[in-house]
């Protein structure tokens, strides 16, 4: 059983397009996250979200928006894609009543041409 899954694993698209990445967790966790990992492997949090509040990293452009249809899903929608958006995007989840360790999805490699 996959704990945190993401689709697609690879996404190649052109500048200016709009795309979405889907994330699902079956761990029963109450909080989900999106991270961006750049070409130098630096991991940066973009959003954290539970059913009560969305915390947005202030450096994230508003072209990026998380959408959560329910507790088990947190999708990432990106408008007007730019070359600099090329990166690996990770979804993660955690339970905020425990030690908060996060479990990550396999990542989505986004390439903008």
Least separation in angstroms between residue 34's CB and another protein is 11
> Cα(32)–Cα(69) distance, rounded to whole angstroms?
12
> Cα(88)–Cα(109) distance, rounded to whole angstroms?
4
Binding pattern for the stretch 37-76 against another protein, x by CB under 8 A and - elsewhere? ---xxxxxx--x------x---------------------
Tell me 83's DSSP state: G
Q: Residues 11, 90, 110, 112: which binds another protein (CB under 8 A)?
A: 90
Q: Listing from the earlier edge strand, what are the strands of the sheet with 64-70?
A: 4-7, 19-25, 73-78, 64-70
- Identity of the residue, 42 or 70, whose beta carbon is nearer to another protein in the bound complex: 42
**List of residues contacting another protein (CB under 8 A):** 33, 40-45, 48, 55, 88, 90, 92, 96, 99-104, 106-107, 109
């Amino acid at each position: 059983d996959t704990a945190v899954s993401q689709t697609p694993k690879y996404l190649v698209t052109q500048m200016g397009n709009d795309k979405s990445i889907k994330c699902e967790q079956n761990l029963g966790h109450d909080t989900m996250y999106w991270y961006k990992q750049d070409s130098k492997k630096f991991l940066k949090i973009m959003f954290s979200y539970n059913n009560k509040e969305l915390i947005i990293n202030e450096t994230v452009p508003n072209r990026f928006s998380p959408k959560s249809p329910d507790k088990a899903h947190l999708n990432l929608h990106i408008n007007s894609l730019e070359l600099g958006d090329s990166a690996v995007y990770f979804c993660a989840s955690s339970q905020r009543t425990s030690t908060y360790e996060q479990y990550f999805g396999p990542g989505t490699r986004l390439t903008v041409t």
